[in-house]
Each structure stands twice: as C-alpha cells, then as structure tokens.
Chain A
Amino acid sequence: MTILEIDRAGRVFGSGEARVVALDDVSLCVERGEFVAIMGPSGSGKSTLLHLAGGLDRPTSGRVLLNGRDLAGMSAADLSLALRREIGFVFQGLNLLPTLSAAENVALPLELDGARPRAAMSAARSLLDSVGLGAVADRFPSRLSGGEQQRVAIARAVTGGRTLLLADEPTGALDTVSGEAVMGLLRRQCAAGCAVVLITHDMRHAAWADRVVFLRDGRVTGEAAPPAGPEFLLRPA
C-alpha cells in the first residue's frame, strides 16, 4: 500500500532574476513499512521535498498524495486533520515541550485529537515502554539525554497510529551510539507498519533505510538499494 506518492513535483521560489528552482520534476513513492532516506548536499532540495511530503508547503507543479488523496484537493480543515492524524514529524532538535514530562509530551497529540487525558497518558506510557523508555516516562526533557529526547520525539510522532513519519536530520546532534539507537527505532516503526522518510547527510544513518535517494540541485541523481544477498562482503566460513 502506497502511503506517500510524490508525482513529478516541482517547487519554484521567486520569479524573474530571483527565480530559484528548489525541486524539479521529482517523483517518489513510499510504501507502508518502507524506510526511505533522502541524501544530498545543502541546498539540494531535501527539506523542500520533506515540506511537500508533510503538507507544510505546496508544489508549484505536480502532485502530492497522502494515502491516495491529493493534498491540493483538500479543504483547509481536511488538510489539517489529515496532517494531524496521519503524519508525524521529528526534527533535529526542539521537538519536545520543556514543561511537559516525556509521557505528557507523547500524550499531547492524542489529547489534541480528543482522547481523554487519562487514556492518552496510559497510551503514551505503553508506547514509551515499547521503545525501551518506560523508566524515563516521568522525566522532563531537560533530564533526558539527546538520544532519549529524540526517541521520545519519535514515539510522539507515531502516537495514534499515524502512518507516515517524516524525520529531518533527527540524529544531527547525537553521538554515534545514540544515533544508531534512533535509527534502530525508526526501523522498528517501519516493521510496525509505518512509512518513514528520513533526511540526512550522514551516510551511516542513511544505510539503515531500505532505499536511499540522492538529490542534487533539486533533481534525483540516483538511488541505492541494498543487495539482495552478500555482494560486498562475504563472511569467512
């Protein structure tokens, strides 16, 4: 099942002399359970692509479909409901509200969506348990390590059964081991049925994805999928 379909999308900013083509005829399909990483240098259009995917910006040409529906055809109210219920975001930092505990942060989107506080908190706790953060559920973000904060942010991004997780450099400020823990958690979200799009300039992290799409100057310049069997490295028998 296709969760996200970007169909020949373009995004142009400005006009005349100041005209900048941020994205040029980019297509991308992400299936349920699929983990796609987008790589490219600064200014290659990665963030623009993520903004289009998340309905934060509209393409100047082409279409963006979320679970089969064209975002451009939705009313403002439908769009905001779809974004809230179907898409979770994780950014490099400042993901959590500092005055709420980890569990309260995770419960917040559920409450905003009409769940009763008690039910939302219990769902949040079991979600944090499932990602190995049950022990820190009552801590405030300032008492969590950077890696823990990002894992809480990922848990929050998938609460309420959201199907698309968009992550923009979520490991930017983390050390190697914490970064790997975040990648492992993103992989597990895919296994649980989410579609994940990760933007990163870190090849080590992109390698966790099922597919890596390379962007340059607003265009797709290549794609890498892991070999089906051992190709590069054969473990000595």
Chain B
Amino acid sequence: MSVRHSLLVLLDAGPMHGYGLKTEFEAATGDVWPLNVGQVYTTLARLERDGLVSTETDADGQKIYAITDAGRGEVRRWFETPVAREVVPRQELAIKLVFAMRSAATDVADVLQRQRVATMRSLQEVTRLKADAEADGDLAWLLMLDALVFQAEAEARWLDLCEARLARKSGERQDRGTPLPRGGAAAPPLPITRRSS
C-alpha cells in the first residue's frame, strides 16, 4: 500500500499542509493506518524531489503542498495498476499437517479440528466488529474487516480440503499390501464414509 499515492490523491482535491494531510489520511482509512507526522514529511519531500508535488510558503511561513501534472499522471497510473497479491509459499500450517501425519505424537484430525475452532473464533470476533462498524458507518474499517472475514473463510475451506485429502491418503496407506483387483488396475481410493442424514 502506498502512502505516497494516497497523499497525492488527497492533494488532487486541492493544496494542503503536511499536518492536514496526516489527519485527512487517517480519517479516510478509519484510523486503521496511523501515520506519524515524520513519515508524512519524508514522503512529501520525496514527492517534491520526484516532481510530483510543488511547495509554496503561506503567510504564516508554513509549507503548503500542491500536486503537479506529473503527480496527477502518477495517481492515474496507481489506479490503473492492479495490486499484486502477497504470496507466502511457506505455510506453517501446511508443514504442521504434513508432519502431524508422520508423527506418532499426535492425530492429524485433532490438529485440524483445533485449527478449525481457532479460525472460527477469530471469524466470530471479526464478525462482531463488523456489526459495530456497520452501525458506525465506518467504511474503511468495514472493508478491512470484510477482507479478514474472507481470508479466514479461505483458511477454513482449505482445512476442509486438507482433511479430505489426508483421509484419502491414509486410506491409500491402509490399502497397501492388499492384492490388486483383477485386471491389475489399482483400486480407486475409498470415498470417505458418507452417512445419510
């Protein structure tokens, strides 16, 4: 996420002081993203260096910042460019599940279920915060919470899939050593027992 682009968007509406930019930024992001004033001034100095903003000094001797044409171009580029996904290929949970399958110290189903309960509890917590945010009309915070809800849901669905895969895998292990059916083809993995309800 780009503080510099956010500041440019704010300046696109009209020239502002550094401190005003800080408060506007925090109000717009629902205080989810606190900025220290030093960070604002360093960012503004870089924007000025890159020709994206220009400065004037007002009657009180305070610097006032204005966006330049190059700055407007930069805003346009920012909005036109999709944000790259942050990908972390090493998932501690995936590693834990693989090792839980090998380990005699635990049952992988228990590890999965504990994780599921933990994911559910965090989801319950975020859902309650969401109800408050909706009542307060706090849009930036609400969007942030929505994102957390879908992330938790993705983890939960992934856990369900892990469970199904692991059940199938342990089924295959039990099948090893049994004679192949006639025709020589390996028997398909046993489906997980389904109970009618």
Which residues in A have some Cβ–Cβ distance to B below 8 Å?
A: 13, 20-22, 41-48, 184, 187, 202-204, 206-209, 212, 214, 217-218, 221-227, 230-233, 235-237
Given A222-B116, A223-B117, residue A43 in contact with residue B125 (CB < 8 A): no
| Residues B120 and A206 in contact, CB atoms below 8 Å apart | yes
| Residues A221 and B126 in contact, CB atoms below 8 Å apart | no
Binary contact readout B138-160 vs A (1 if CB under 8 angstroms, 0 otherwise): 00010000001110110011001
Given A41-B160, A233-B148, residue A214 in contact with residue B196 (CB < 8 A): no
Contacts of B156 in A (CB 8 A): 203
| Residues A222 and B124 in contact, CB atoms below 8 Å apart | no
Contacts of B31 in A (CB 8 A): 235-237
User: Could you show 5 A-B contacts with beta carbons less than 8 Å apart?
Assistant: A22-B195, A45-B197, A214-B117, A224-B120, A233-B148
| Residues B196 and A20 in contact, CB atoms below 8 Å apart | yes
| Residues A43 and B153 in contact, CB atoms below 8 Å apart | no
| Residues A224 and B124 in contact, CB atoms below 8 Å apart | yes
| Residues B195 and A218 in contact, CB atoms below 8 Å apart | yes
Partner of B197, one of A22, A206, A223, A232: A22
CB distance from B141 to the nearest CB of A (A): 7
CB distance from A57 to the nearest CB of B (A): 10
Q: How far is the CA of A21 from the CA of B195 in the complex (A)?
A: 7
| Residues B125 and A232 in contact, CB atoms below 8 Å apart | yes
CB distance from B183 to the nearest CB of A (A): 26
Partner of A46, one of B121, B193, B197: B197
| Total A-B residue contacts, Cβ distance less than 8 Å | 97
Q: How far is the CA of A13 from the CA of B194 in the complex (A)?
A: 13
Partner of A207, one of B114, B126, B157: B126
Q: How far is the CA of A206 from the CA of B150 in the complex (A)?
A: 13
| Residues A226 and B125 in contact, CB atoms below 8 Å apart | yes
Partner of B117, one of A48, A224, A231: A224
- Given A22-B195, A43-B196, A207-B149, 10 more contacts at CB 8 Å? A44-B195, A44-B197, A46-B197, A184-B131, A212-B124, A224-B124, A225-B124, A233-B126, A236-B33, A237-B34
| Residues A222 and B113 in contact, CB atoms below 8 Å apart | yes
Contacts of A208 in B (CB 8 A): 127
Q: How far is the CA of A209 from the CA of B195 in the complex (A)?
A: 26
CB distance from B155 to the nearest CB of A (A): 9
| Residues A222 and B117 in contact, CB atoms below 8 Å apart | yes
Q: How far is the CA of A15 from the CA of B32 in the complex (A)?
A: 59
| Residues A214 and B116 in contact, CB atoms below 8 Å apart | yes
Q: How far is the CA of A20 from the CA of B196 in the complex (A)?
A: 7
Q: How far is the CA of A222 from the CA of B156 in the complex (A)?
A: 14
| Residues A207 and B120 in contact, CB atoms below 8 Å apart | yes
CB distance from A17 to the nearest CB of B (A): 14
Q: How far is the CA of A232 from the CA of B151 in the complex (A)?
A: 13
Contacts of B150 in A (CB 8 A): 204
Binary contact readout B95-124 vs A (1 if CB under 8 angstroms, 0 otherwise): 000000000000000000110110111111
Contacts of A235 in B (CB 8 A): 31-32, 129, 141
B128 part of interface (Cβ distance < 8 Å):
yes
Q: How far is the CA of A48 from the CA of B152 in the complex (A)?
A: 28
Q: How far is the CA of A201 from the CA of B103 in the complex (A)?
A: 30
Q: How far is the CA of A159 from the CA of B22 in the complex (A)?
A: 52
- Closest 4 A/B residue pairs (Cβ): A226-B124, A232-B122, A224-B120, A207-B123
Q: How far is the CA of A109 from the CA of B44 in the complex (A)?
A: 66
| Residues A45 and B34 in contact, CB atoms below 8 Å apart | no
| Residues A236 and B32 in contact, CB atoms below 8 Å apart | yes
| Residues A43 and B120 in contact, CB atoms below 8 Å apart | no
Contacts of B113 in A (CB 8 A): 214, 221-222
Contacts of B197 in A (CB 8 A): 22, 43-48
Q: How far is the CA of A55 from the CA of B24 in the complex (A)?
A: 58
| Residues B116 and A233 in contact, CB atoms below 8 Å apart | no
Contacts of A13 in B (CB 8 A): 196
